[in-house]
Amino acid sequence: MHDIKSIRDNPEAFDAALKRRGLAPLSASLLAIDESRRTAIGHVEKMLARRNAASKEIGDAKKRKDHAHAEDLMIEVTQLKSVLPELEKTPRELEAKLNGLLAQIPNLPLDEVPEGTDEHGNVERHHFGAKRNYAFTPKPHYDLGEAMGFMDFEAAAKLSGARFVVLKKGLARLERAIGQFMLDLHTNEHGYTEVNPPLLVRDDAMFGTAQLPKFEEDQFQIEMYSPEQIATYVDNFAQQYVRGEVERFITENAGKIEEFSRSKDFPTIEALVQAFVADEKAEARARARPKMIEELKRLAGDNRRWLIPTAEVPLTNLVRESILDEKELPLRMTALTPCFRAEAGAAGRDTRGMIRQHQFTKVELVSITTPEESKNEHERMLSCAEEVLRRLGLHYRVMTLCTGDMGFAAQKTYDIEVWMPGQGEGGAYREISSCSVCGDFQARRMDARSRGPDGKPRFVHTLNGSGTAVGRALIAVMENYQQEDGSIAVPDVLQPYMGGLKVVQAG
């Protein structure tokens, strides 16, 4: 989320940064809304000040026994009170409109990020190791796994549809071993705290890390209550509210109701109330309607949960709406979780194998730090993710993503691309980790701040990275460590997690 004050102070720099992202200038339209909002706020404040002043003048007039002037002032105050609610709606609506637009604008790239329009503009930073030589033609992981009988896409399709897999026996154990190895490395040697977070989160959490509102179609959501349950709840709420309002109305209009009841025959008070409300169109219904709308909105917002696309969402949101002591920073957290993505924009891509799944396992790294340390923390996070692949003995390269290929919330991103010899014709590099520094972009959306030595709160900086994707690491191990007979040699670092097993093979 962007700071409108910063845009106001330097609109040219904001538009220049958007241009690097391939976007048109937006400062003028944003500032026009902001100016209207500020004008409306000023008008409301002026009216409030006049109401307060007039209220004070009423007392002064009464002390002077100037009853006529006091009466005029009371009329003025009454009029101001009646128009203020409507006037106050204008700045609220403008602020909502402004925030809605700001929420759709991506983070601004750091100056050192290379310019480009897509992945072809990415720049190699460095690489580790070299491509292996084989005396045979390397096979893709799905051919290896299916030949063993340990990787079943057909069974998964019967259960869940496309882009799912069932792993069995040695491959199921190997994937579990990879995840456990990563967690142990990051917690024991890299100083990350292991967290086991919820896999279902609310809208606010998804908004905080910027999956919502822009990327809603890429997410899986579930409803906590059925439409029938909500309807019953709202109906009960409405009945209780209307009954309460009617009872209040009855108390305030006892004489009128007594006269009404004498003119007709009512067996019960409920029948009287229902007839009176229907016959007189009492204020209760009018009052209940906006309350019912509010309740419906609350239920709608509270009804859905999102399956996490990455543990970045719950881990980062652990600091939402809080003020941290900067002595506690950096906070470094890691989690091994299932992740869920609809892959709405991936139709036709990577349809075979485990590269692009709706459900996959990943070890996530999240750091919360100060503005002064976020760049250093970014380099540190990258090295932690790299160490996983180094110890697995996998060849990879690190790419600095260009302005046109970075994620929505990122200021700067490093992608680690691991070599997979079974991909395509002659092998290919595939992303296995993405490490991003987000500055205060997510912190503003979450209202996550820290308090430094001067005692003043300021927004923290957030970082996230894969440490790494477990399913893709499994693919990389299978394709790089495959042997001519179709078996998979287990990397030395994983053998303790496999009970000493050195080879995964059919049988």
283 is in an annotated binding site: no
Contact 150, 172 (CB under 8 A): yes
431 is in an annotated binding site: yes
- Give the residue-averaged pLDDT of 375-399: 98
- Give the residue-averaged pLDDT of 484-501: 97
Please tell me the distance from the alpha carbon of residue 350 to that of residue 423, in angstroms, as a whole number.
10
Q: What is the average pLDDT value for the chain, to the nearest integer? A: 88
Run of H or E including 466: strand 461-469
Give just the sign of the alpha carbon dihedral 205, 206, 209, 213: negative
Residue 386 has pLDDT above 60, yes or no: yes
* pLDDT tens-digit readout, 16-50: 999 999 999 999 999 999 999 999 999 888 888 88
For the chain, domain boundaries: 4-102, 119-219+309-495, 227-305
* Residue 434 confidence (pLDDT): 97
347 is in an annotated binding site: no
Please tell me the distance from the alpha carbon of residue 230 to that of residue 246, in angstroms, as a whole number.
24
The architecture that CATH gives domain 119-219+309-495 is 2-Layer Sandwich (3.30)
226 is in an annotated binding site: no
466 is in an annotated binding site: yes
* Residue 282 confidence (pLDDT): 47
436 is in an annotated binding site: no
* pLDDT tens-digit readout, 172-192: 999 999 999 999 999 999 999
CATH superfamily of this structure's domain 4-102:
Serine-tRNA synthetase, tRNA binding domain (1.10.287.40)
257 φ, ψ (degrees, to nearest 5) = -70, -40
487 is in an annotated binding site: no
137 is in an annotated binding site: no
252 is in an annotated binding site: no
Contact 156, 329 (CB under 8 A): no
157 is in an annotated binding site: no
Query: What pTM did the predictor assign?
Result: 0.84
